[in-house]
Amino acid sequence: MHEILTLQFGHFANFVGTHFWNSQEAYFTYNESLNAPKSEIVHDTLFRAGVTPRGIETYTPRLLLYDLKGGFGSLKKINKLYEESPGKNELHESTWNGRSETHAQMPYSKNIYLQHLENEEELVSTEETENKMKIETEDFKLDETVQFWSDFNRMYYHPKSVNTMMQYQFEDEFMPFDIFSYGKNAFLAHEKELDSFDENFRFFAEECDAIQGFQVYTSIIDGFGGFACSFLEQLRDEYPKTAIWSFGITENRSWAPKGHNSYYKQILNIALSTTQLTEFSSLFNPINTPAANQPNFNSFYHPNLNLPYHTSSIVSAAIETATLPFRSRHNFTSMFDLITQLNWRGNTKLGSLGLAFPLPISNFGEVDVNKLLHTENNNVIQDLSMTLNGKQNATTIYGQSVVVRGLPNQFEPLAGQNPKNASQIAAEIFQRYESLNSGSSSFFSTNVTYPIPNSFPKIFRYLNSNGHVDMSVPNDKMLSVHSVPTLSHLTISTKSYNFLHQLANILQNLNLNLHPEYEEGDKGLTCDEFLETRETLWDLCEAFEDNSSSLH
């Protein structure tokens, strides 16, 4: 069935993952006739069917997610699908006759949006659907109420999907989870206590018929980088040849000021994560969310870059679009085949990801293909690749994958002209990307548009309900956008050289003795491992150094 198992490590990674899973749920169709055509999205790639102990049939993500204690908001490990029958939930009668006290933490209250989702379920279960569209169009002020990723989550997860790292508390100023080695040690302690890998990972992995790969979202600026690396090291021992695509995601607002001690710890965390995730992954994409001081992306969307609820939605849309070929019924491409095609040199495992969100196209199929290449003055393509010192451009592209989605089979005709169709527009776009003279190119087009559920931020402007450009639409009509055409551009290129070279240069002058916390615990960083990390970065730099002759 070409299954994919998803792994999420860290609070912001779970923000990204929540948007991802909400978009998957938006693809679902219900009450279709038996003769209806099959969905273009193969849901079994990411979801698993199951039955609860009470006999309830379920369809939940094939997912493991990890966060710190207190980082889950209102989400419970045991949701109402998996609750035991009322009789079994009652406390056993105690034989203790003395005085007893119960200390319970006040539960995190659900916001208005989550309350409305519960009401929506009741409407569906009682077949009272007249008011359902009101729920779909109402503004729930999520910008003001989202504090945790669970505040806009639409999914039910299997209890084995939800994993709490009990050793650390979310946003604990006195014991922060901010060191790579803390993550390595936390994984060791977590496995000793709960044996999560054997109990939970194997539960999802071993039920797959023909797993095509693993997609990983992880923070790399803090301790979760170390936790993820330890997890993938064990995973790679179990699946030595299976594709692993890792996204190392950093929220821009998490950065400490340059020159501060905390900044150099973050750099060291990213350097250690980069070298090890590159080793254990088939492809590694370091991603940095856009900075709040950047100019507006384009005329058609306006996110608040200080809100993780907004910035995570952009990253999620890029990942969801770039990985769409793995879940498609037609023109299916496996994760392994795409990565092998892009990394045809064998030693270039770092990628860069760009996104046109939305792909600016009118109802008539009008699109300026020249603006789809990322340049200094072009704000149509948002570059999400990580950089430590200003902008970076690729002079040589070894491999690229372009995914264009949401083009209708036929556009509206302009006066006196034949209507344009999706094949024509896609051909024009792909021809423009062919001009980059990439060593290897993969082009994928589908009319499956990017869905905009009501959990998504209200960030679009001048778009009609189909996400097509319409400058006559007033700004206050943003709520009417239900889907948008999107383009993702994944490259393996010399752009990665700049990032790696910046990391290596900083580590060259970094004194590990000033950061003794990295040496703590059984999995503490040794001086030899630090020097090895630095040398590995220089070796990776050499692999990505510009050499146009290497394309032939």
pLDDT band at 30 (very low <50, low <70, confident <90, very high): confident
Q: Which of 295, 252, 506 is nearest to 382 (CA)?
A: 295
Q: Which of 520, 532, 531, 526 is nearest to 183 (CA)?
A: 520
Number of H helices, E strands in the chain: 15, 15
Across the range 442-455, mean pLDDT stands at 95
Our CA angle for 212, 72, 271, nearest 5°, is 60
pLDDT given at position 55: 86
CB 430 within 8 A of CB 325: no
pLDDT band at 448 (very low <50, low <70, confident <90, very high): very high
Q: Check pLDDT > 80 for residue 255.
A: yes
Assess if residue 97 is contained within a domain.
no
Number of domains in the chain: 2
List pLDDT tens digits, range 522-551: 999 999 999 999 999 999 999 998 875 455
Q: Are residues 414 and 527 in the same domain?
A: no
pLDDT given at position 377: 60
pLDDT given at position 34: 65
Q: Are residues 141 and 195 in the same domain?
A: yes
Our CA angle for 349, 350, 353, nearest 5°, is 130
Q: Are residues 480 and 503 in the same domain?
A: no
CB 470 within 8 A of CB 477: no
CA atoms within 13 A of residue 185's CA, in its CB half-sphere: 17
| Range scoring the smallest mean pLDDT among 275-289, 389-403, 489-503 | 389-403
Domain end position, chosen among 481, 497, 513:
497
Q: Check pLDDT > 80 for residue 488.
A: yes
Across the range 2-7, mean pLDDT stands at 97
CA distance 399 to 389: 24
Assess if residue 271 is contained within a domain.
yes
Assign residue 406 a region (left: φ > 0; alpha: ψ between -120 and 50; beta: otherwise): left
pLDDT given at position 194: 79
Q: Are residues 143 and 257 in the same domain?
A: yes
Assess if residue 16 is contained within a domain.
yes
Q: Check pLDDT > 80 for residue 130.
A: no
Q: Residue 483 pairs with which residues in a beta bridge? A: 451
Q: Are residues 480 and 504 in the same domain?
A: no
Higher local confidence (pLDDT), 198 or 168:
168
| Range scoring the smallest mean pLDDT among 15-24, 58-67, 220-229, 433-442 | 433-442
CA distance 448 to 457: 20
CB 374 within 8 A of CB 383: yes
Q: Are residues 315 and 423 in the same domain?
A: yes
pLDDT given at position 89: 44
Assess if residue 549 is contained within a domain.
no
Q: Check pLDDT > 70 for residue 50.
A: yes
pLDDT band at 375 (very low <50, low <70, confident <90, very high): low
pLDDT given at position 97: 60
Across the range 193-211, mean pLDDT stands at 90
| Range scoring the smallest mean pLDDT among 110-124, 206-220, 328-342, 378-392 | 378-392
Q: Residue 163 pairs with which residues in a beta bridge? A: 66
CB 169 within 8 A of CB 192: no
CA distance 440 to 533: 30
Across the range 163-183, mean pLDDT stands at 95
Range of the domain at 514: 498-544
List pLDDT tens digits, range 36-48: 778 899 999 999 9
List pLDDT tens digits, range 497-530: 999 999 999 999 999 999 999 999 999 999 999 9
Assess if residue 14 is contained within a domain.
yes
CATH of the domain at 380: 3.40.50.1440
Our CA angle for 203, 206, 207, nearest 5°, is 85
CA distance 44 to 208: 10
How far out from the chain centre does Cα 262 lie? 25
When the pLDDT of each residue in the chain is averaged and rounded to a whole number, the result is 88
CA distance 91 to 508: 59
Q: Are residues 533 and 412 in the same domain?
A: no
CA distance 242 to 246: 13
CB 509 within 8 A of CB 431: no
CA distances from residue 51 to 42, 48, 82, 157 in whole angstroms, order as listed: 20, 10, 9, 13
Q: Check pLDDT > 50 for residue 131.
A: no
Q: Are residues 125 and 228 in the same domain?
A: yes
Q: Are residues 264 and 310 in the same domain?
A: yes
Assess if residue 552 is contained within a domain.
no
pLDDT given at position 376: 56
Assess if residue 443 is contained within a domain.
yes
Q: Are residues 309 and 257 in the same domain?
A: yes
Main-chain phi, psi angles of 16, to 5 degrees: -60, -45
Q: Residue 6 pairs with which residues in a beta bridge? A: 63, 215
Q: Are residues 472 and 521 in the same domain?
A: no
| Beta strand 486-493 pairing with 397-405 | antiparallel
Across the range 251-267, mean pLDDT stands at 92
Q: 213: helix, coil or strand?
A: strand
| Range scoring the smallest mean pLDDT among 305-309, 344-348, 365-369, 453-457 | 365-369
pLDDT given at position 92: 46
Element (H, E) at 315: helix 308-322
Token pair recorded at residue 492:
């393996």
How much of the chain, in percent, has pLDDT values that exceed 90? 68
pLDDT band at 129 (very low <50, low <70, confident <90, very high): very low
Assign residue 172 a region (left: φ > 0; alpha: ψ between -120 and 50; beta: otherwise): beta
pTM of the predicted model as reported, rounded to 2 decimal places = 0.93
CB 490 within 8 A of CB 400: yes
User: Which DSSP string do the residues of 87-134 spell out, in sequence order?
Assistant: HHHSPPPP---S------PPPPPP-HHHHHHHHHHHHHHTT--TTHHH
Token pair recorded at residue 352:
């860069």
Q: Check pLDDT > 70 for residue 449.
A: yes
Q: 229: helix, coil or strand?
A: helix
pLDDT given at position 551: 55
Token pair recorded at residue 517:
């916390």
Q: Are residues 411 and 508 in the same domain?
A: no
pLDDT given at position 93: 47
Q: Check pLDDT > 50 for residue 552.
A: no
Assess if residue 100 is contained within a domain.
no
